[in-house]
Amino acid sequence: MSRAIHANRTQVFLLPPNLDEWVPATHPARFVVDLVEALDLEGLGFRASPGDEGRPHFASELLLCVWLYGWMERIRSSRGLERACQRDLGFVWLTSNLHPDHNTLWRFFRDNKKAIRELFKRVVVIAAQAGLVGFALHALDGTKVRVASSMDSALHRKTLLEQLKKVDQIVETSIEQIETDEQQPAPDWKMPGPLADREERRKCIREQLAQLDKAETNHLHPSEPDARVMKTREGQRLSYNAQAVVDHDSDLIVAVDISGAETDHQQLVPMTQAVVDTCGQAAEETVADAGYASGAQFEEAERRHLPVLVNVQRESDKGPYAKSQFTFDSERDVYVCPRGEVLGFEGTHKRGKDKARRVYRCHNDECPVRGDCTTDKKGRAIKRLLTEGAFERQVARQSGPDKRTLMSLRKEIVEHIFGIAKAVDGFRRFTVRGLDGAGAQWALLALAINLRKLLPAWRAGRLPVTAAA
């Protein structure tokens, strides 16, 4: 029978333990330390609180290591990081058994939001210089992430209009309640004076409606003025539109950003250009879904020589006289129908650059197929976007099986990244308010995902992180 081994918690060591032996050589914490020590943190814009006079403060590299390793380990709150620095051996080694508190950690994040976004770009550059980023095919997509603020505390136009209609009844009922409470020996509350005044209440509601008008939206949160109500899997929620560009070869995220835009229509060029700004070049092709289809964006991409492939939704054929059967003659600025009739330019419907349309109409009242072609008493009309030429050139770029194959790869390249972020990492909501804070968190999440993917390359010696990196 073997002898049981019991813990000896009073053990005294002859020599002090070596801190460097607490984690193995390939531990992720060592990767984080190697990376941070190779960076010019001051050049990236990082700064740490100098602390009170005469009081030592934690160095920027130490606090940054805690945040990076924590997000790699899916520990994202400052209090969670504080506990980890006391309990987790990887954090204990990383901090040399120091224990920064949650306030110190939070202040570091608060003061370095912009620098964190720059750090994400720098790590992408390091990976690219090591030959770990491919530039054959990139995929762009976006996902909606809920903001920290609540829908319940936001301004909603429908609710405000209802309150405006019922303001007299609401105020009178409240006043009656106050009078009843005042007769009690110890009233619990009293309605503020301004709310008891009908005109003051009306003025308050109208000011809130004016805020919605100024923002051109029906929903607005005072603490999140850039957030918008967007459709998520949980329903309509105040959210930001989080964007990511992913490399096909390495599966690394090469560009990120967030905005309050409810659609992706204006994100194609900015996100593709972000890759150029970071890496010095765009991929040979960048693919995106139909949500990025925009004539203005296509024109701008052509002007900047950015190769993009967007799944343009074509108008469905409705028979022999569908729009697709009409030919546009750019020299004469007319459409020609399948029977040879000419549809001349009639006028322009202006609804913004992407929605403005030129109208072409047929005036042949004696056409034998007029009843089959249209029900419009004025004659068949064809509407052409001002940027439709860019749409047509985009469709022409997609001809050929090789281009269609590239476009079919979009979903498998980029969408699983959002699955990792939300399902695996559990990141479904920002925990800081404002576009800057949320943007820093999105960059930090993408950075953590990238670092986990780069870890095997570092272990294999294919990602040299040195002071010269």
Provide the whole-model pTM.
0.86
Phi, psi of 357 (to 5 degrees): -130, 140
In a domain, 7, yes or no: no
Rounded to whole angstroms, the Cα distance separating 135 from 142 reads 20
pLDDT value of position 11: 85
Q: Is residue 33 part of a domain?
A: yes
Residue 468: the pLDDT is 41
Output the pLDDT for position 228.
95
Spatial CA neighbour of 467 closest among 29, 42, 37? 37
DSSP state of 217: S
End-to-end C-alpha distance for the chain, whole angstroms = 57
Whether residues 308 and 402 share a domain: the answer is yes
Give the pLDDT of residue 292.
Answer: 96
Residues 253 and 366 in one domain: no
Whether residue 282 is found in the same domain as residue 416: yes
335-to-263, 265, 298, 364 alpha-carbon distances in Å: 32, 28, 23, 14
Half-sphere exposure of 172 (CA within 13 A, CB side): 4
Q: What is the C-alpha to C-alpha distance for residues 463 and 284, in angstroms, rounded to an integer?
A: 24
Instruction: For the chain, give the mean pLDDT.
Output: 89
What CATH number does the domain containing 251 carry? 3.30.420.10
Q: Do 280 and 250 lie in a common domain?
A: yes
The two structure tokens encoding residue 344:
């001349």
Of the two residues 12 and 280, the one the predictor is more confident about is 280
Structure tokens, 90: 């990887």
Q: Which stretches of 351-398 are assigned E, i.e. beta strand? A: 357-361, 381-385
What type of residue is 180? T
Q: Which residue has the tokens 């070869």?
A: 249
What is the mean pLDDT of the segment spanning 300-305?
A: 96
Residue 273 has pLDDT above 90, yes or no: yes
Q: Is the pLDDT of residue 8 over 70?
A: yes
Instruction: For residues 165 and 290, give the distance between their C-alpha atoms in angstroms, rounded to a whole number.
Output: 42
Q: Which domain holds residue 339?
A: 323-388
- Report the alpha-carbon distance of residue 240 to residue 144 in Å, rounded: 6
Q: Are 185 and 49 found together in one domain? A: no
Give the pLDDT band (50/70/90) at residue 459: very high
By the 8 A CB rule, do 106 and 78 touch?
yes
Q: Where are the alpha helices (DSSP H) in 150-294?
A: 157-165, 167-182, 193-196, 198-215, 268-279
Separation CA 236–CA 423 (nearest Å):
19
Residue 386 pLDDT level (bands cut at 50, 70, 90): confident
Q: Is the pLDDT of residue 54 over 90?
A: no
Whether residue 262 lies inside any domain: the answer is yes
pLDDT number for residue 56: 81
Length of the chain, in residues: 469
Return the pLDDT at 107. Answer: 95
User: Which residue has better confidence, 141 or 465?
Assistant: 141
Portion of the chain with pLDDT greater than 90, in percent: 64
The pair of structure tokens assigned to 97 is 């058994």
Residue 141, classed as helix, strand or coil, is strand
Same domain, yes or no, for 37 and 94? yes
Confidence at residue 268, expressed as pLDDT on a 0 to 100 scale = 97
Higher local confidence (pLDDT), 450 or 11: 450
Pair 29, 54 in one domain = yes
Q: Is residue 10 part of a domain?
A: no
Burial of 241 (0-12, 13-18, 19+ CB in 10 A): buried
CA distances from 388 to 295, 296, 333, 359, 360 (A): 6, 9, 13, 12, 14
Indicate the number of domains in the chain. 4
Task: Mention every residue, 6+ apart, whose C-beta is less than 8 A from residue 380.
Answer: 321, 337, 343, 361, 362, 370, 373, 374
Considering the domain architecture, whether residues 139 and 250 belong to the same structural domain is answered as yes
Distance CA(254)–CA(294), nearest Å, equals: 23
What is the pLDDT at residue 316? 59
418: which DSSP letter? H
> What is the per-residue DSSP string for 275-332?
HHHHHSS--SEEEE-GGG--HHHHHHHHHTT--EEE-PPPPPP-STTSGGGSEEETTT
Where does residue 189 rank: exposed (0-12), middle (13-18), buried (19+ CB within 10 A)? exposed
Q: For the segment 65-117, what is each residue's pLDDT rounded down to a tens digit?
A: 999 999 999 999 999 999 999 999 999 999 999 999 999 999 999 999 999 99
Residue 170: which pLDDT band, with cuts at 50, 70 and 90? low
Single-letter amino acid, residue 343: L
The reply to whether 263 and 187 lie within a common domain is no
Q: Does 249 lie in the same domain as 140? A: yes
Domain boundary among 352, 370, 388: 388
Tell me, yes or no, whether 287 and 417 share the same domain.
yes
Q: What is the pLDDT of residues 312-370, one digit of tens each?
A: 876 656 678 888 889 899 889 999 999 899 999 988 887 655 678 899 999 898 898 88
Asked, for residue 13, whether it belongs to a domain, the answer is no
301 and 328 within one domain: no
Residue that wins the pLDDT comparison between 248 and 22: 248
276 domain-assigned: yes
Please name the residues in contact with 147: beta carbons below 8 A apart, sequence gap of 6 or more.
Answer: 221, 224, 227, 238, 239, 240, 429, 430, 433, 438
The answer to whether residue 180 is domain-embedded is yes
Q: Comparing C-alpha atoms, which of 318, 324, 364, 320 is closest to residue 341?
A: 364
Reading the block at residue 229, the tokens are 């109500």
Q: Is residue 327 in a domain?
A: yes
